[in-house]
Chain A
Amino acid sequence: MTDTARTQASKARAMKRLRKRRAADGRFRYYGLSAILTALGALAVLIFTIGSQALSAATYHVVNYDITLDPAVIAPEGAGRPEDISRNVEGFYGLVRDNLIATFPEAAKDRASRREVADFVTRLAVLPTAQMVAEQPELVGTRITLTAPLNDDLDLYLKGQGVRERKLGVGAIAAIKGEVEGGYRVTGAGAFDAVVAALAVAAADLPADAAEPGVLLTAGPSTGRLTEISAGSGHLELLTGNIKDFARLQSKARLIVALESERTISDQQIAWTLALKDMGRIERVPRKTLLTNSDSTYPELAGGLAAIVGSLLTMLVTALVAMPIGIFAAVYLEEFAPKNRVTEFIEVNINNLAAVPSIVFGLLGAALYINFLGMPRSAPLVGGLVLALMTFPVVIIASRAALKAVPPSVRSGALAVGASQMQTVFHHVVPLAAPGILTGAILGMARALGESAPLLLIGMVAFVGDVPRSPTDESTVMPVLIFSWSNNAERAWEPLTSAMIIVLLAFLLLMNGLVVFLRRKYERRW
């Protein structure tokens, strides 16, 4: 073989190796990129699904009631003190119900209707107004506008998330004639063409023996139930309002497939809601109560304040216990402890502790703090201590990593000018490791903030309607509240749960932001 041939062969081999190496580089970059994209995609889906749900709970519908604060009802003889007024839920609620009945006289006709109209607003929704009047007794006897949230099912209906309906156009109604069995015959050439077509489509999708979908006809504030529908006529049973509106105003039809008996809201309630909306008495407003109210059995009144305060108190206890223990243990182990079997054993066990499932800490906490030491159940004190057990191994591990990262030259420099070991550690090493230590501590706390399982075991899952005032009060925390809400049956809890998750995520984001801030501010290069 000649020299040139040999060099050419080795050149070809080198080219081949180069190609192989480049291909490997490219593959690796591709794997990395797809891993990142997968992670980002999962995050985006999570944020999007929870966020879009939460967005619907960020606002809700409230109804305005113009009521006169009749002294005989609000502050009757012998019950006129402010604390009596603030407790007089029944009186205020009565005024609201009377206002509704005045607006819709047909609601007074029988017990069932009274109950239906009473469902519009929950009793407890008048409490803020009662408290306001108690603080300003001069309001008694005056006319005020009481604003109360709309029933959660009707709220969902107005948001288009509750009962499914199709809105259909209706032609001009030419004639309305009273009929013998009650109700009216409404006629107009081709007025209900669209409704008939939609009914035909709906019928094709339904089983043969299913009942026909209901159709509501609305004109302005008036609504009736439409039956016996043909292209040019139908039988209208007036639910609320004035029959003349149908001749005067443009009508609209709503086709509701779900049977009335299978819905949480009746045709009558829908009719009244549409009427209130038409009168401009229903507004969609931001749901501030999510952050200012405590838990309630009624979704339209429920809020997370008690849980937020409970979480903060719990975190306070956790921080006060886990951070000093974790940091001092880390400093001791890293800087002072002799490197021997015992230290190694302790180290291994701390690492194991960090890997113990959190629910085990809950069991331990229940046994130790509640059964043995007799601390109160459901209290942030116990919750904080349980979470501290769970957090401090994490703090130790993170702090040790931060201490290890301090270059040994700093230590020997300090020792060489005659600093004692303690001075070396506390004047030089710990300040340099502080951002890392704090980062670890805050991330450990963030994990604790999102923890629910161990707290369930120490009874922090109880319904808590009052904001806890001290770490020994009965309390719950945000993740547990989310857990309980998600277990509730009513549909309205679903968006509310998402909204609460967003609040929790906001707190976590805040803590992570703090980490970034601390790092930026105090991290030093050397």
Chain B
Amino acid sequence: MDTSQGNPMMDDSITPQPTKDGGPRIDCRNIKVFYGQAEAIHDVSMSFPDRAVTALIGPSGCGKSTFLRCLNRMNDTIENCRVEGKILMDGEDINDADVDPVLLRSRVGMVFQKPNPFPKSIYDNIAYGPRIHGLANGREDLDAIVEKSLRRAGLWEEVKDRLSAPGTGLSGGQQQRLCIARAIAVQPEVILMDEPCSALDPIATARIEELIDELRNRYCIVIVTHSMQQAARVSQRTAFFHLGNLVEMGDTGQIFTNPREKRTEDYITGRFG
């Protein structure tokens, strides 16, 4: 690991460092994504501010997940998927040959649509990331990271007595919070969430939304959602995608009350989708 770049992963605190100039945390320029010959994302440029939640909305198949996966290079793991364009994170292109995707993913955490805890104990689910990245010095340190992450994900009180129980034995909502705890345990700077609540009931959803609201104070969060209400509730910025194009991007309030584009208005008022 290259410490000379001041990688925040090496800090003792879980709190990520603020951006140097207060500008956008991630800046995407002219992103095109191809699956084989088919172009799924057409020339999208947008940026994500730090300490704010950005929501990506749009009809099914418009490329939200594809675009989200560009940000932690998970598209690399998909056969015949190719990404063009520049994605600058703190001014550095994450697609550069000398950027290690594994290190990048430890800085950009991801939570998936379907909760996918490892079939291991709750403790090991959280401890796995810190362990492979060498974030803990000894058992006590690791215990502290696990507790801190679970507390921050609002799960500690529910599971503190059964940390050795399998993570897959939790309820759906608990599993999803476990996955969020797992993501923040490696001290990322950015958290990507792909429809994190689509498999959850309203109460669990509310719980996660609260959590996102808290996490916003420390992280740059990007969330994909199909729920207009959710986007309105949790995000500060909203981007509307349609057929692989970024149609409109702006403050959430503006997008929902006063969209510039006809297509956006049609979508958020439920006229198509």
Same assembly: yes
Q: Tell me the A residues contacting B by CB distance below 8 Å.
A: 339, 407, 409-421, 423, 427-428, 432, 524-526
Query: Complex: how many Å from CA A420 to CA B79?
Result: 17
Q: A415, A421, A427, A526: which contacts B168 (Cβ < 8 A)?
A: A526
| Inter-subunit contact B133/A418 (CB<8 Å) | yes
Q: A339, A414, A415, A418: which contacts B118 (Cβ < 8 A)?
A: A414
Output the nearest chain B residue to A524 by Cβ-Cβ distance: B119
| Inter-subunit contact A410/B168 (CB<8 Å) | no
List of A residues within 8 angstroms of B168 by Cβ? 525-526
| Inter-subunit contact A427/B128 (CB<8 Å) | yes
State the majority secondary structure of interface residues on B.
helix
| Inter-subunit contact A417/B116 (CB<8 Å) | no
Query: Complex: how many Å from CA A421 to CA B117?
Result: 18
Sort A-B residue pairs by CB-CB distance and give the 8 closest, nearest first. A418-B106, A409-B116, A417-B129, A416-B110, A526-B119, A413-B116, A418-B105, A420-B102
Question: Can you report 10 A-B residue pairs in the complex whose CB atoms are below 8 A from each other?
Answer: A411-B77, A412-B112, A412-B116, A416-B110, A417-B109, A417-B185, A418-B133, A418-B186, A419-B128, A526-B168
Q: B77, B79, B114, B182: which contacts A417 (Cβ < 8 A)?
A: B182
| Inter-subunit contact A416/B118 (CB<8 Å) | no
| Inter-subunit contact B74/A428 (CB<8 Å) | no
Instruction: State how many angstroms separate the Cβ of B131 from the closest Cβ of chain A.
Output: 9
Query: Complex: how many Å from CA A44 to CA B55?
Result: 66
| Inter-subunit contact B74/A417 (CB<8 Å) | no
Instruction: State how many angstroms separate the Cβ of B231 from the closest Cβ of chain A.
Output: 22
| Inter-subunit contact B112/A419 (CB<8 Å) | no
Instruction: State how many angstroms separate the Cβ of A255 from the closest Cβ of chain B.
Output: 74
| Inter-subunit contact B103/A415 (CB<8 Å) | no
Output the nearest chain A residue to B113 by Cβ-Cβ distance: A409
With contacts A409-B112, A432-B119, A524-B119 known, is A416 near B102, CB below 8 A?
no
Q: Is B94 an interface residue (CB 8 A)?
A: no
| Inter-subunit contact B109/A416 (CB<8 Å) | yes
Query: Complex: how many Å from CA A411 to CA B114?
Result: 13
Chain B, interface size category, equals: 20 to 34
With contacts A339-B79, A409-B114, A525-B168 known, is A417 near B128, CB below 8 A?
yes
Instruction: State how many angstroms separate the Cβ of B97 from the closest Cβ of chain A.
Output: 17
Q: Is B183 an interface residue (CB 8 A)?
A: yes
Instruction: State how many angstroms separate the Cβ of B196 from the closest Cβ of chain A.
Output: 13
List of B residues within 8 angstroms of A339 by Cβ? 79
Output the nearest chain A residue to B72 by Cβ-Cβ distance: A416
Which residues in window 53-86 of B have CB below 8 A to A?
72, 74, 77, 79
| Inter-subunit contact B102/A419 (CB<8 Å) | yes
With contacts A432-B119, A524-B119, A525-B168 known, is A415 near B112, CB below 8 A?
no
Query: Complex: how many Å from CA A484 to CA B183?
Result: 64
Q: Is B179 an interface residue (CB 8 A)?
A: yes
Output the nearest chain A residue to B133 by Cβ-Cβ distance: A418
Query: Complex: how many Å from CA A395 to CA B185?
Result: 38
State the majority secondary structure of interface residues on A.
helix
List of B residues within 8 angstroms of A526 by Cβ? 119, 168
Instruction: State how many angstroms separate the Cβ of A134 from the closest Cβ of chain B.
Output: 61
Query: Complex: how many Å from CA A412 to CA B72?
Result: 12
Instruction: State how many angstroms separate the Cβ of A129 from the closest Cβ of chain B.
Output: 61
Query: Complex: how many Å from CA A416 to CA B132?
Result: 13
Instruction: State how many angstroms separate the Cβ of B198 from the closest Cβ of chain A.
Output: 14
Query: Complex: how many Å from CA A2 to CA B27?
Result: 71
Query: Complex: how many Å from CA A411 to CA B105?
Result: 13
List of A residues within 8 angstroms of B110 by Cβ? 412, 416
B148-179: contact bitstring with A at CB < 8 Å (1 yes, 0 no)?
Answer: 00000000000000000000100000000001
List of B residues within 8 angstroms of A410 by Cβ? 116, 118-119
Query: Complex: how many Å from CA A419 to CA B77?
Result: 13
Output the nearest chain B residue to A423 by Cβ-Cβ distance: B132
Q: B74, B103, B117, B119: which contacts A416 (Cβ < 8 A)?
A: B74
Which residues in window 122-137 of B have CB below 8 A to A?
128-129, 132-133
Output the nearest chain B residue to A406 by Cβ-Cβ distance: B119
List of A residues within 8 angstroms of B179 by Cβ? 413
Output the nearest chain B residue to A526 by Cβ-Cβ distance: B119
Output the nearest chain B residue to A416 by Cβ-Cβ distance: B110
Q: B106, B112, B118, B186: which contacts A428 (Cβ < 8 A)?
A: B118
Query: Complex: how many Å from CA A525 to CA B114?
Result: 16
| Inter-subunit contact B105/A413 (CB<8 Å) | no
With contacts A410-B119, A427-B128, A526-B168 known, is A416 near B105, CB below 8 A?
yes
Instruction: State how many angstroms separate the Cβ of B265 from the closest Cβ of chain A.
Output: 35
Q: A417-B109, A427-B132, A525-B119 are in contact. List 10 more A-B contacts (CB 8 A).
A: A339-B79, A410-B118, A413-B116, A416-B74, A417-B106, A417-B183, A418-B186, A419-B132, A421-B77, A524-B119
List of A residues within 8 angstroms of B183 by Cβ? 416-417
**Best-surrounded residue of A416, A423, A427 (most CB of chain B within 10 A):** A416
Instruction: State how many angstroms separate the Cβ of B94 from the closest Cβ of chain A.
Output: 13
List of A residues within 8 angstroms of B105 by Cβ? 415-418
Instruction: State how many angstroms separate the Cβ of B30 from the closest Cβ of chain A.
Output: 25
Instruction: State how many angstroms separate the Cβ of B36 from the closest Cβ of chain A.
Output: 12
Output the nearest chain B residue to A419 by Cβ-Cβ distance: B132
Instruction: State how many angstroms separate the Cβ of A158 from the closest Cβ of chain B.
Output: 62
Query: Complex: how many Å from CA A339 to CA B36?
Result: 13
Query: Complex: how many Å from CA A107 to CA B72?
Result: 97
List of B residues within 8 angstroms of A432 by Cβ? 119
List of B residues within 8 angstroms of A412 by Cβ? 74, 77, 110, 112, 116
Q: A407, A409, A418: which contacts B132 (Cβ < 8 A)?
A: A418
| Inter-subunit contact B117/A413 (CB<8 Å) | yes
Query: Complex: how many Å from CA A413 to CA B103?
Result: 15
Q: A415, A420, A427, A524: which contacts B74 (Cβ < 8 A)?
A: A415
Output the nearest chain A residue to B9 by Cβ-Cβ distance: A418
